[in-house]
Amino acid sequence: MIILNIWRNNKFAFVAMLVMIIAGTLIGSHNTLAGMREEGAAVFVAGIKGDGIGIQGDLSERDAAAYNMVTIARKYLPEDNAVIQQVIKARADLAAADSVAEKAKADKALESAVKDLHQVLAAAKLSAQDEKYPQRIYTEFRSRGDTISHDPYNQVAADFNKKLSAFPAGLLGGLTGVKPLELFQ
């Protein structure tokens, strides 16, 4: 009976209806924007077609090529060689990177370190069996970097960020905690 009397009070009913409309709008907006963000973020790992060909896969291949370059270098240079250690550190930093921006920064450091190691190995006297490997490995490493530079993730992220900054998504996204996607740069 008391509940029925409360609902008969027009002011309470109006406020309750307004609260439900606002809550429904915020929840629905959050779910929509968060879903769009998740789809955009998935392109980094799974690729634009969801086939697994994304930046993350190319980073893994670059890491493997860097490892292979270090393996060759260890046959001809001491383990404490600064250039070898630079590649080892860059690989560890890439493995520890959590965000897209951190991965981009670590990848740039790895690029520089592998380039330096390639130059050192190009000047070293390698065995006839090993002399072909550094260039092949470096070509593969650079090829993956080129693939990354053409990957559609940054465009997908930029498109999402543009939508998120427009009205009313910018307001609703801010109120519901949906953040822009980081670019890989």
How does pLDDT run across 124-172, given as a tens digit for each residue? 999 999 999 999 999 999 999 999 999 999 999 999 889 877 676 555 5
Check: CB of residue 181 under 8 Å from CB of residue 91.
no
Q: What is the pLDDT of residue 18?
A: 73
Instruction: For residues 68 and 114, state if they share a domain.
Output: yes
Residue 12 has pLDDT above 80, yes or no: no
| Domain membership flag for residue 182 | no
Residues 71 and 21 in one domain: no
Identify whether 86 is part of a domain: yes
Pair (83, 135) in one structural domain: yes
Q: What is the pLDDT of residues 93-110, one digit of tens each?
A: 999 999 999 999 999 999
Are 27 and 61 in the same domain? Answer: no
* φ, ψ (nearest 5 deg) of residue 65: -65, -40
Are 69 and 143 contained in the same domain? Answer: yes
Cβ atoms of 111 and 158 within 8 Å: the answer is no
Between CA 111 and CA 138 the distance in angstroms is: 10
Q: Are residues 21 and 88 in the same domain?
A: no
Are 145 and 158 contained in the same domain?
no
The two structure tokens encoding residue 96:
């520890």
Do residues 143 and 165 share a domain? no
Q: Whole domain around residue 12: which residue ranges? A: 2-48+153-176
pLDDT of residue 156: 95
Give the single-character DSSP code of 106.
Answer: H
30-60: pLDDT as tens digits = 567 667 878 889 999 999 888 888 999 999 9
Residues 6+ apart with CB under 8 A from 165: 180
Same domain? For 68 and 85 the reply is: yes
- Cα–Cα separations (whole angstroms), residue 29 to 23, 172, 181: 10, 6, 17
Tally of domains within the chain: 2
Q: CA-CA distance, 136 to 68, in Å (whole number)?
A: 10
Asked whether the predicted pLDDT for residue 2 surpasses 60, the reply is: no
Same domain assignment for residues 13 and 73: no
C-alpha span between 82 and 79 (Å, rounded): 9
